Protein backbone atom coordinates (compact mmCIF):
# COMPACT_ATOMS: atom_id res chain seq x y z
CA UNK A 1 0.00 0.00 0.00
CA UNK A 2 1.25 3.49 -0.78
CA UNK A 3 2.56 5.38 2.22
CA UNK A 4 0.10 7.89 3.52
CA UNK A 5 0.82 11.08 5.33
CA UNK A 6 0.03 10.83 9.02
CA UNK A 7 -1.74 13.96 10.19
CA UNK A 8 -2.25 13.12 13.85
CA UNK A 9 -1.87 10.22 16.27
CA UNK A 10 -3.79 10.03 19.54
CA UNK A 11 -4.24 7.26 22.11
CA UNK A 12 -7.05 5.50 20.29
CA UNK A 13 -6.93 6.77 16.71
CA UNK A 14 -4.66 7.86 13.87
CA UNK A 15 -5.65 10.35 11.17
CA UNK A 16 -4.15 10.09 7.69
CA UNK A 17 -4.45 12.35 4.69
CA UNK A 18 -7.55 11.34 2.69
CA UNK A 19 -7.87 10.49 -1.00
CA UNK A 20 -9.52 13.83 -1.85
CA UNK A 21 -9.07 17.36 -0.54
CA UNK A 22 -11.21 17.94 2.53
CA UNK A 23 -11.17 14.28 3.54
CA UNK A 24 -9.18 12.23 6.07
CA UNK A 25 -8.85 8.54 6.87
CA UNK A 26 -9.54 7.74 10.53
CA UNK A 27 -7.83 4.55 11.79
CA UNK A 28 -9.08 2.94 15.03
CA UNK A 29 -6.36 1.43 17.23
CA UNK A 30 -6.97 -1.21 19.90
CA UNK A 31 -5.15 0.51 22.73
CA UNK A 32 -5.56 3.74 24.67
CA UNK A 33 -8.96 5.36 24.80
CA UNK A 34 -10.54 4.14 27.96
CA UNK A 35 -7.35 3.94 29.96
CA UNK A 36 -5.19 6.56 31.50
CA UNK A 37 -1.46 6.37 30.85
CA UNK A 38 -0.74 4.20 33.90
CA UNK A 39 -3.26 1.57 32.91
CA UNK A 40 -2.94 1.65 29.18
CA UNK A 41 -3.55 -1.79 27.79
CA UNK A 42 -4.44 -3.26 24.49
CA UNK A 43 -7.92 -4.70 24.16
CA UNK A 44 -7.86 -6.80 21.06
CA UNK A 45 -10.58 -6.03 18.58
CA UNK A 46 -11.75 -2.88 20.29
CA UNK A 47 -10.67 -0.71 17.36
CA UNK A 48 -12.67 -2.88 14.98
CA UNK A 49 -15.78 -2.64 17.18
CA UNK A 50 -15.43 1.11 17.68
CA UNK A 51 -15.03 1.63 13.93
CA UNK A 52 -18.27 -0.32 13.36
CA UNK A 53 -20.18 1.30 16.19
CA UNK A 54 -19.14 4.81 15.27
CA UNK A 55 -20.21 4.07 11.69
CA UNK A 56 -23.56 2.79 12.97
CA UNK A 57 -24.28 5.83 15.15
CA UNK A 58 -23.03 8.44 12.70
CA UNK A 59 -24.88 6.90 9.75
CA UNK A 60 -28.05 7.02 11.84
CA UNK A 61 -27.41 10.65 12.78
CA UNK A 62 -26.69 11.63 9.16
CA UNK A 63 -29.95 9.90 8.23
CA UNK A 64 -32.03 12.09 10.54
CA UNK A 65 -30.30 15.29 9.46
CA UNK A 66 -27.78 15.65 12.26
CA UNK A 67 -24.56 16.38 10.38
CA UNK A 68 -21.44 14.34 11.20
CA UNK A 69 -17.97 13.97 9.70
CA UNK A 70 -18.63 10.34 8.69
CA UNK A 71 -18.56 9.62 4.93
CA UNK A 72 -18.09 5.85 4.66
CA UNK A 73 -16.31 2.92 6.23
CA UNK A 74 -13.29 1.77 4.24
CA UNK A 75 -12.36 -1.49 6.02
CA UNK A 76 -12.33 -3.14 9.45
CA UNK A 77 -10.29 -0.39 11.05
CA UNK A 78 -10.64 2.66 8.83
CA UNK A 79 -13.30 5.13 7.84
CA UNK A 80 -13.34 8.08 5.46
CA UNK A 81 -14.30 11.31 7.18
CA UNK A 82 -14.61 15.00 6.38
CA UNK A 83 -11.70 17.09 7.54
CA UNK A 84 -12.89 19.59 10.14
CA UNK A 85 -11.40 22.28 12.30
CA UNK A 86 -11.85 20.74 15.73
CA UNK A 87 -13.28 23.02 18.41
CA UNK A 88 -11.05 22.48 21.48
CA UNK A 89 -13.97 21.52 23.71
CA UNK A 90 -15.41 18.15 24.71
CA UNK A 91 -19.21 18.42 24.91
CA UNK A 92 -20.73 16.12 27.53
CA UNK A 93 -24.47 15.44 27.85
CA UNK A 94 -25.74 13.86 31.06
CA UNK A 95 -29.16 12.25 31.64
CA UNK A 96 -28.32 10.68 35.02
CA UNK A 97 -25.76 11.74 37.60
CA UNK A 98 -22.53 9.71 37.50
CA UNK A 99 -18.76 10.03 37.27
CA UNK A 100 -17.27 13.45 37.71
CA UNK A 101 -20.66 15.13 38.19
CA UNK A 102 -21.47 12.90 41.17
CA UNK A 103 -17.99 13.49 42.57
CA UNK A 104 -18.15 17.25 42.07
CA UNK A 105 -21.69 17.88 43.30
CA UNK A 106 -22.28 14.97 45.66
CA UNK A 107 -25.31 13.73 43.74
CA UNK A 108 -25.66 9.93 44.09
CA UNK A 109 -24.79 7.95 40.95
CA UNK A 110 -27.87 7.01 38.98
CA UNK A 111 -30.03 9.99 40.09
CA UNK A 112 -32.23 11.05 37.16
CA UNK A 113 -31.48 14.66 36.23
CA UNK A 114 -34.44 17.05 35.82
CA UNK A 115 -33.37 17.57 32.20
CA UNK A 116 -30.35 16.68 30.10
CA UNK A 117 -27.40 18.79 31.21
CA UNK A 118 -24.79 19.90 28.68
CA UNK A 119 -21.27 20.61 29.91
CA UNK A 120 -18.10 21.82 28.20
CA UNK A 121 -14.59 20.63 29.00
CA UNK A 122 -11.47 22.33 27.66
CA UNK A 123 -9.47 19.73 25.76
CA UNK A 124 -6.03 19.86 27.35
CA UNK A 125 -4.59 16.57 28.50
CA UNK A 126 -1.96 18.13 30.76
CA UNK A 127 -4.67 20.00 32.61
CA UNK A 128 -6.91 16.91 32.69
CA UNK A 129 -9.63 18.43 30.44
CA UNK A 130 -11.08 20.87 33.02
CA UNK A 131 -14.77 21.78 33.14
CA UNK A 132 -15.26 25.31 31.77
CA UNK A 133 -18.17 27.72 31.61
CA UNK A 134 -19.53 29.64 28.62
CA UNK A 135 -17.82 32.72 30.07
CA UNK A 136 -14.39 31.07 29.75
CA UNK A 137 -15.16 29.83 26.26
CA UNK A 138 -16.20 33.24 24.95
CA UNK A 139 -13.53 35.21 26.83
CA UNK A 140 -10.69 32.96 25.61
CA UNK A 141 -12.06 32.79 22.08
CA UNK A 142 -12.42 28.98 21.91
CA UNK A 143 -15.87 29.38 20.34
CA UNK A 144 -18.44 32.12 19.71
CA UNK A 145 -21.85 32.49 21.35
CA UNK A 146 -23.41 31.25 18.10
CA UNK A 147 -21.09 28.20 18.15
CA UNK A 148 -22.12 27.50 21.73
CA UNK A 149 -25.82 27.66 20.87
CA UNK A 150 -25.20 25.38 17.88
CA UNK A 151 -23.16 22.93 19.96
CA UNK A 152 -25.89 22.65 22.61
CA UNK A 153 -28.54 22.07 19.93
CA UNK A 154 -26.36 19.48 18.19
CA UNK A 155 -25.51 17.67 21.44
CA UNK A 156 -29.17 17.49 22.50
CA UNK A 157 -30.20 16.05 19.13
CA UNK A 158 -27.44 13.44 19.41
CA UNK A 159 -28.68 12.70 22.94
CA UNK A 160 -32.27 12.12 21.79
CA UNK A 161 -31.13 9.82 19.00
CA UNK A 162 -28.61 7.84 21.03
CA UNK A 163 -30.88 7.52 24.08
CA UNK A 164 -33.64 6.13 21.86
CA UNK A 165 -31.38 3.67 20.05
CA UNK A 166 -29.85 2.40 23.29
CA UNK A 167 -33.22 2.22 25.06
CA UNK A 168 -34.40 0.03 22.18
CA UNK A 169 -31.78 -2.57 23.09
CA UNK A 170 -32.31 -2.32 26.85
CA UNK A 171 -29.46 0.04 27.66
CA UNK A 172 -29.61 3.35 29.51
CA UNK A 173 -27.53 6.18 28.10
CA UNK A 174 -26.28 7.74 31.33
CA UNK A 175 -23.99 10.27 29.65
CA UNK A 176 -21.67 10.64 26.69
CA UNK A 177 -19.13 12.96 25.12
CA UNK A 178 -18.85 14.28 21.59
CA UNK A 179 -16.41 16.47 19.78
CA UNK A 180 -17.55 19.09 17.34
CA UNK A 181 -15.80 20.39 14.23
CA UNK A 182 -16.23 23.38 11.97
CA UNK A 183 -16.66 22.97 8.19
CA UNK A 184 -17.23 25.42 5.41
CA UNK A 185 -19.69 24.86 2.57
CA UNK A 186 -18.69 27.80 0.37
CA UNK A 187 -18.99 30.86 2.59
CA UNK A 188 -21.40 29.09 4.89
CA UNK A 189 -19.90 27.75 8.09
CA UNK A 190 -21.50 25.06 10.20
CA UNK A 191 -20.71 22.71 13.05
CA UNK A 192 -20.81 18.94 12.71
CA UNK A 193 -20.24 15.95 15.00
CA UNK A 194 -16.63 14.72 14.70
CA UNK A 195 -14.22 12.22 16.32
CA UNK A 196 -16.12 9.05 17.29
CA UNK A 197 -19.24 7.87 19.04
CA UNK A 198 -18.53 4.52 20.69
CA UNK A 199 -18.72 2.80 24.08
CA UNK A 200 -15.42 4.55 24.86
CA UNK A 201 -17.17 7.90 24.97
CA UNK A 202 -20.45 6.78 26.58
CA UNK A 203 -21.55 5.59 29.99
CA UNK A 204 -24.01 2.76 29.35
CA UNK A 205 -25.91 0.81 31.99
CA UNK A 206 -28.14 -2.20 31.42
CA UNK A 207 -31.74 -1.11 32.08
CA UNK A 208 -32.60 -4.16 34.15
CA UNK A 209 -29.42 -5.45 35.79
CA UNK A 210 -27.53 -2.15 35.97
CA UNK A 211 -24.47 -3.85 34.40
CA UNK A 212 -22.04 -1.29 32.97
CA UNK A 213 -21.14 -1.48 29.31
CA UNK A 214 -19.53 1.81 28.42
CA UNK A 215 -16.30 3.45 29.37
CA UNK A 216 -16.82 2.59 33.02
CA UNK A 217 -17.54 -1.11 32.34
CA UNK A 218 -14.67 -2.15 34.58
CA UNK A 219 -11.68 -0.02 33.77
CA UNK A 220 -9.39 -2.23 35.85
CA UNK A 221 -10.11 -5.28 33.69
CA UNK A 222 -9.49 -4.88 29.96
CA UNK A 223 -11.22 -8.17 29.21
CA UNK A 224 -14.42 -7.07 30.89
CA UNK A 225 -14.20 -3.89 28.84
CA UNK A 226 -13.79 -5.90 25.66
CA UNK A 227 -16.80 -8.03 26.57
CA UNK A 228 -18.79 -4.88 27.20
CA UNK A 229 -17.97 -3.52 23.75
CA UNK A 230 -18.94 -6.83 22.18
CA UNK A 231 -22.22 -6.93 24.09
CA UNK A 232 -23.21 -3.45 22.91
CA UNK A 233 -22.30 -4.32 19.31
CA UNK A 234 -24.19 -7.64 19.55
CA UNK A 235 -27.36 -6.00 20.85
CA UNK A 236 -27.24 -3.38 18.11
CA UNK A 237 -26.63 -6.07 15.49
CA UNK A 238 -23.34 -4.56 14.33
CA UNK A 239 -20.81 -7.27 15.10
CA UNK A 240 -18.01 -7.04 12.56
CA UNK A 241 -17.61 -9.45 9.67
CA UNK A 242 -14.33 -9.85 7.80
CA UNK A 243 -13.97 -7.13 5.22
The residues binding ligand C5P (CB under 6 A) are 92, 98-101, 129, 175-177, 201-203, 215
Query: Closest approach of Cβ 97 to ligand C5P, in Å?
Result: 9
C-beta closer to ligand C5P: residue 50 or 201: 201
Q: Looking at beta carbons only, is 35 or 70 nearer to ligand C5P?
A: 35
Q: Report, in Å, the least distance between residue 12 CB and ligand C5P.
A: 10
Q: CA quadruple 214, 218, 29, 121: dihedral positive or negative?
A: positive
- Nearest-approach distance from CB 199 to ligand C5P, in angstroms: 8
Instruction: Supply angle C-alpha 57, 59, 61, rounded to 5.
Output: 70
Least separation in angstroms between residue 21's CB and ligand C5P is 30
3-class DSSP state of 128: coil
Q: Which is nearer to ligand C5P, 74 or 156 (CB)?
A: 156
Measured from the CB atom, the residue of 37 and 185 that comes closer to ligand C5P is 37
Strands 112-122 and 70-73: unpaired
CB closer to ligand C5P, 18 vs 166: 166
Nearer Cβ to ligand C5P, position 70 or 213?
Answer: 213
Strands (DSSP E) found in 98-201: 112-122, 131-132, 171-185, 188-194
CB of 11 to ligand C5P, least distance (A): 10
Q: Which is nearer to ligand C5P, 79 or 201 (CB)?
A: 201
| Residues contacting 51, CB < 8 A, separation 6+ | 28, 73, 76, 77, 78, 79, 240
Among all residues, whose Cβ is closest to ligand C5P?
99
Report the 10 Å Cβ neighbour count for 104: 10
Instruction: Tell me the closest approach of the beta carbon of residue 101 to ligand C5P, in angstroms.
Output: 6
Q: Are strands 171-185 and 202-206 parallel, antiparallel or unpaired?
A: antiparallel
Least separation, in Å, of the C-beta of 120 and ligand C5P? Answer: 11
191, 150 contact by CB (below 8 A): yes
Helix or strand holding residue 62 (H, E): helix 46-63
84 within 8 A of 183, measured Cβ to Cβ: yes
Which residues make Cβ contacts (< 8 Å) with residue 74, sequence separation at least 6? Answer: 25, 80
Amino acid sequence: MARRKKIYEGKAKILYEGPEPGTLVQYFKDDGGAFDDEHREVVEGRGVLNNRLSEFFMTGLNGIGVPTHFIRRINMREQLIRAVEIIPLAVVVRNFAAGSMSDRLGIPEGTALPRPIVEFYFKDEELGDPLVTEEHIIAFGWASQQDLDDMVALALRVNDFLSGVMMGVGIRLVDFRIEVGRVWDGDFQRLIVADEISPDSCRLWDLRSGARYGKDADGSDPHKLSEAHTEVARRLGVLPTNV
